[in-house]
Amino acid sequence: MKLELGFIQIKDIQFSKECKVENGTLYVNADEVKDFVFKDDDVKACVKAAHFDIAKPGESVRITPVKDVIEPRVKVEGPGGEFPGVIAKVDTVGSGKTHVLRGMAVVTAGKIVGFQEGVIDMSGPGADYTPFSKLLNLVLVCEPVEGVHQHEYEHAVRIAGLRAATFVGELGRAVTPDDTQEFETYGIKEGIEKFPDLPRVAYVHMLQSQGLLHDTYVYGVDAKRSLTTIIYPTETMDGAILSGNCVSACDKNTTYHHQNNPVVADLFAQHGKTLNYVCNIITNENVYLADKMRSSDWSAKLCRLLDLDGVIVSQEGFGNPDTDLIMNTKKIEQMGVKTTIITDEYAGQDGKSQSLADADPLADAVVTGGNANEVIILPAMDKVIGTLDYVDKIAGGHAGSLRPDGTIEAELQVITGATNEMGFNCLSAR
């Protein structure tokens, strides 16, 4: 399956009367976007009010509580549309041509759970830890209708963000991309014939699916209801997987992370040169022991069935998903397939505790996204998009995290994407 991505570099975002992309600037009429967002019945029923704001790299701006980050895209050729099974109808994506508004994102913010959304600082020390400080962010701040059920509201805000991104992405349909790249993986036999001497490598992509607002969707299917399965890397790149997560901000995979999965990108960079990138195996992180056993058995089984030589395993979240990570790794290694895993650590604020809840000697090749418990001081910003009301309660914060002058003292956990377990960042620990 071959996908062509056309990158349209966005250099500025401005509010304006009309909506368009021109010479690298995105012009947005906020009311028009809002109208489109609110055309959805669920959004209408659960979201009382919404407004847009813009945050640019280097500004003294803090966005919080952050729910999701989404890259606007539009399908210009080939089957399917953006976010199949959720926004567009179900149809296989990952082939044809998609335009990408690069350098920007739609960020959804506002209270959902209250303690499991994150912080994005556009400047200062916190900005070094989140990749989203480097993007032009169109922020959609939502407020719930009073008395709305948490799950319904999470769904509504998720849809609102995806609709906003879809609307903005559509503005890139007729724009000529600044840069175009092609990505292609092959059928099993075809791949072996093309690259007979290269090791066969796949990516075991673990999806957060613990429920209670810790969910990931694949073509609209809640990942906890699926068995481990195979997906083309280009499908992931084309919006097949999206985040429905309200977990610790530092190591949840936002929709932007899925669209721009760095493991996929770096495996493609070596595809046909040092390795043969076969496919992605997606598996879940459920809460029952039987599910964990079944899903990890299945991962290992597929690795064997595909005659793989090696895999990269990435995790999402921490705690009991550490067991899923170790089960996957151990079982895959026992099939004779070599593994490298990406995780992050909860080694305590002093760095002295055991980093993972589970361990196995077969997990001998580990990449870490850093210790999420390390404490950071985030100085006050001139402007807050959203509200600081939840900073004390956020996972990684504590009573008194928010000082009277607006400074936040908290663990890295509060920062969206700080210790990402797909290896999106350079942060590490020893």
Partner 1 sequence: MVKEIERAGIPVVHMCTVTPISMTVGANRIVPTIAIPHPLGNPALTPEEEYALRKKLVTRALEALTTEVEDQTIFEV
Partner 2 sequence: MSYRVVHYINQFFANIGGEEMAHVPPELREGHVGPGLAFNQAWKGEAEIVQTIVCGDSYFAEHEKDAKAQVLAWVKEAKPDLFIAGPAFNAGRYGYACANVALAVKEELGIPVLTGMYEENPGADMKEKILIVATTNSAAGMRKAAPAMAKLAMKLMRGEALGASCEEGYMPNGVRKNFFEKERGSKRAVDMLLAKLAEKPFTTEYPMPSFDRVAPNKAIKDLSKATIALCTSGGIVPKGNPDHIESSSASHYGEYCLDGVDVLTAETYETAHGGYDPVYANENPNRVLPVDVMREFEREGKIGKLHNYFYTTVGNGTAVASAKKFAMEYAQKLLQANVNAVIMTST
- DSSP-derived letter for residue 397 is B
- Within 148-177, which residues bind partner 1 (CB under 8 A)? none
# residues near partner 1 by CB under 8 A: 4
Tell whether residue 305 is a contact of partner 1 (CB under 8 A).
no
The token pair at 264 is 């996929």
Q: Is 401 in the site for partner 2 (CB under 8 A)?
A: no
Contact predicate 299/333, CB 8 Å: no
Work out whether 262 is an interface residue with partner 2 (CB under 8 A): yes
Task: Determine the Cα–Cα distance for residues 322 and 416; give it in Å rounded to an integer.
Answer: 20
Closer of 121 and 421 to partner 2 (Cβ): 421
Nearest approach, Cβ of residue 27 and partner 2 (Å): 32
Using CA atoms of 263, 334, 208, 137 in order, give the dihedral in degrees to the nearest 10: -10
Q: Pick one of 122, 267, 278, 395: the residue that binds partner 2 (CB under 8 A).
A: 267
Residue numbers annotated as active site: 246
CB of 323 to partner 1, least distance (A): 7
Q: Which stretch binds partner 2 (CB under 8 A): 135-143, 169-177, 241-249, 354-362?
A: 354-362
Should residue 318 be labelled a site residue for partner 2 when binding is judged by CB under 8 A?
no
Q: Does 366 bind partner 2 (CB under 8 A)?
A: yes
297 binds partner 1 (CB under 8 A): no
C-alpha R_g of the chain:
21
Draw the binding track, 322-341, toward partner 1 (x: CB under 8 A; -: no contact): -x------------------
Distance CA 358, CA 397 (A): 25
Q: Could you give the angle at the alpha carbon of 214 between the alpha carbons of 201 and 143, nearest 5°? A: 130
Helix (H, G, I), strand (E, B) or coil at 59: coil
Site for partner 2 contains 361 (CB under 8 A): yes
Q: Annotate 232-298 with three-state secondary structure.
A: CHHHHHCCCEEEEECCCHHHCCCHHHHHCCHHHHHHHHHECCCEEEEEEEEEEECCCHHHHHHHHHH
Phi, psi dihedrals of residue 53, rounded to the nearest 5°: -145, 165
The dihedral through the CA atoms of 224, 225, 230, 234 has a sign that is negative
- 319 near partner 1, judged by CB under 8 A: no
Residues 6+ apart with CB under 8 A from 349: 373, 374, 375, 411
Q: Looking at 49, 174, 230, 289, which residue binds partner 1 (CB under 8 A)?
A: 289
Considering only residues 115 through 174, tell me which ones interact with partner 2, judged by CB under 8 A. Answer: 128
Considering the rule CB under 8 A, would residue 294 count as an interface residue with partner 1?
no
Query: How would you label 238-266 residue by residue, b for 16+ Cβ within 10 Å and e otherwise?
Result: bbbbbbbbbbbbbbbbbbbbbbbbbbbee
Q: Which does 323 bind (CB under 5 to 8 A by kind): partner 1, partner 2, none?
A: partner 1
Binding mask 276-305 for partner 2 (x = CB under 8 A): ------------------------------
Residues 320-349 that bind partner 2 (CB under 8 A): 338-343, 345, 347
Q: Which residues bind partner 1 (CB under 8 A)?
A: 289, 323, 358-359
Q: Which residues bind partner 2 (CB under 8 A)?
A: 128, 199, 201, 262-263, 265-267, 269-270, 274-275, 309-312, 314, 338-343, 345, 347, 350-352, 354-356, 359-361, 363-371, 374, 412, 420-430
